[in-house]
Structure 1
Amino acid sequence: MTDAPDRPTVLTAADGDVWRITLDRPETGNPVTPALAADLAAALAARPEQSRVVLLLANGPRFCVGGDIGSFAGASNPGDFVGRLASDWHQVIRALLSCPVPVVAGVQGAVAGAGVGLIGACDLVVCARTTKIRPAYGAIGFTPDGGTSWALSRALGAPRALDLLLSNGSLTAAEAHLTGLVARLVEDEDLQATAEQLATRIAAGPIRTMVRTRALVRQAATRTLEEQLDDEAQLIAESASDPEGREGVRAFVEKRAPDFRNAR
């Protein structure tokens, strides 16, 4: 399967404080291809400096069906092709994990293969109720990539992650919400509006503080309490010195809403 060279696989738009990135191969389920990896990496790199949140969405009934298996079958050297694609895709995952602003995603329909790792790299995921999440690697004899094993192990724990991966199982949206793989569960027709509202709400908050908080939460599972306490002390001191922290305290004392957007 070949992407039309004159048609990007993602659409981007600045919507106030929100940098919207939309996967745009609805006719094929937004599969992970070399073109998508390149376009998504470029879209993240092109984020306007003034934007305060990234909102990741997808056109069509399916969010992301994972790798384009047809291209795997057609490759003269499958190991080389898949390895290069995984390497390129992992740069996207790293860009999301290190994004200087929070990342919100709205997902629907199907999330499979590397698409699972994609949502796992986002900070807040809003999920439509009828969504199905299926790693699907075992069905084609592959091991996980794209951070999928990390995201599933972090959310489900090792035993349940292995059960899902080794049995070629799937999760309903309700199960994904219950285990913490996704943050919010909404009716299908409310998905986009809810994701947009959440992104706008997050954008009004203390963005640099949120990024520090994200780091603390992600590190918590692999660190001792003593290590976590040390980092908490350091980061709360940084936040108190930051213009965001100063504005938050000042607004509290003055009994008004804080203006974090202009806290520079």
Structure 2
Amino acid sequence: MTSTDERPRLRTEVDGDVWRITLDRPEAGNALDPALAEQLAQALRARPRETRAVLLLAEGPRFSVGGDINHFAAAADPGAAVGQLAHDWHEVVRLLVTCPVPVVAGVQGAVAGAAVGLIGACDIVVCARSTKIRPAYAGIGLSPDGGSSWALTRALGAPRALDLMLTDGALNAAEAHTFGLVSRLVEDDDLRAESIALAHQVAAGPIRAMVRTRSLVRRAAVRTLDQQLDDEARLIAESAADPEGREGVRAFLDKRDADFRNAT
């Protein structure tokens, strides 16, 4: 029999056009440790080329409680252990942000610590109404990692992000939705089905145009209008020349649904 320490931290499966990744360490609240960081990075790199979207889910009542404090506490050199885990986890965040297909996440229960940065790196986040989002770093005397300071500042603005992080505060799902940290709110019982349906809807769309759109949106806050306009002109020209763009225009003129799956 495999112990919980030895068994995989996540599951992967191909669901039609969707590469589904499910965090599977519910007994530890899907806490992030070196094994989970490595396995999630491997899962993102191993996405089958025929899949057109990634869906990130989690088993159990909590999406992720953030870093595994037991791992930190057991380390002979906590600074080195935490620093290495942050480095490994940041590779996961980079893989999500640069994923060549759109990324959807469905979150429930607790989203804490580095998991806040994880959802901030996803393109669309579906959130169960009972979810609580908490940076949680101040409570254990640490500064943020995992892109959580980036995600919170972009969504809330610096004053609210600092208030939340410095007071060890939390956001409920409605607040996270209002501030733009998550995209959609659903009833708890509907989270899995709604997230799966949305991932399949996204996978049926023009994924290369979606990735170009993501690039524009991610950079908009840190560039001038002239820079943004130049990039918009370049990328829409790429999209128009792409088989996706050609199929979309033909379908519009033919008054039919576009078949982006076969626009290669």
TM-score of the pair, normalised by structure 1? 0.98
In the alignment, the residues of structure 2 paired with residue 105 and residue 232 of structure 1 have an alpha-carbon distance, to the nearest angstrom, of: 27
CA RMSD of aligned residues (A): 0.8
> Offset at 1:82?
0.3
Gap runs ≥5 in structure 1? none
SS at match of 1:150: helix
Shift of 1:71: 1.5
Identity of aligned residues (%): 71
Q: What residue number does 2:194 align with?
A: 194
> For the residues of structure 2 that align with 1:257 and 1:172, how far apart are their CA atoms?
38
Counterpart position of 1:49? 49
Show the 5 A alignment for 1:21-100.
21-100=21-100
Measured after TM superposition, the shift of residue 30 of structure 1 is: 0.1
Check whether the contact 1:44–1:95 (CA below 8 A) recurs between aligned residues: yes
Offset, 1:3: 5.3
User: Hey, what does 2:256 align to over in structure 1?
Assistant: 256
* Equivalence for 1:183: 183
Task: Give the match for residue 242 of structure 2.
Answer: 242
CA distance in 2, matches of 1:171, 1:3: 31
Q: Shift of the alpha carbon at 1:4?
A: 2.1
Amino acid paired to 1:22: T
1:61 & 1:197 partners in 2: Cα distance? 21
Could you list the per-position Cα deviations for residues 186-245 of structure 1 after superposition, in whole angstroms to 9, with x for gaps in the alignment? 000000010001000000000000000000001000101110000000000000000000
Partner of 1:203: 203
Q: 1:9·1:39 contact (CA, 8 Å) conserved in 2? A: yes
Q: Secondary structure at the match of 1:211?
A: helix
The residue matched to 2:258 in structure 1 has which SS?
A: coil
Q: 1:126 and 1:60 mapped to 2: Cα distance? A: 16
Where has structure 1 moved over 6 Å in runs of 4 or more?
A: none
How many residue pairs end up in the alignment?
A: 262
2: CA distance between counterparts of 1:76 and 1:230?
A: 51
Partner deviation per Cα, 1:35-72 (whole Å, 9 max, x = no partner): 00001001101100000000000000000000111111
- TM-score, normalised relative to structure 2: 0.98
Residues 11 and 21, structure 1, Cα contact 8 Å, conserved in 2: yes
Residue matched to 1:101 = 101
Question: Helix, strand or coil: the match of 1:19?
Answer: strand
- Structure 2, unpaired ranges of 5+: none
CA distance in 2, matches of 1:197, 1:154: 27
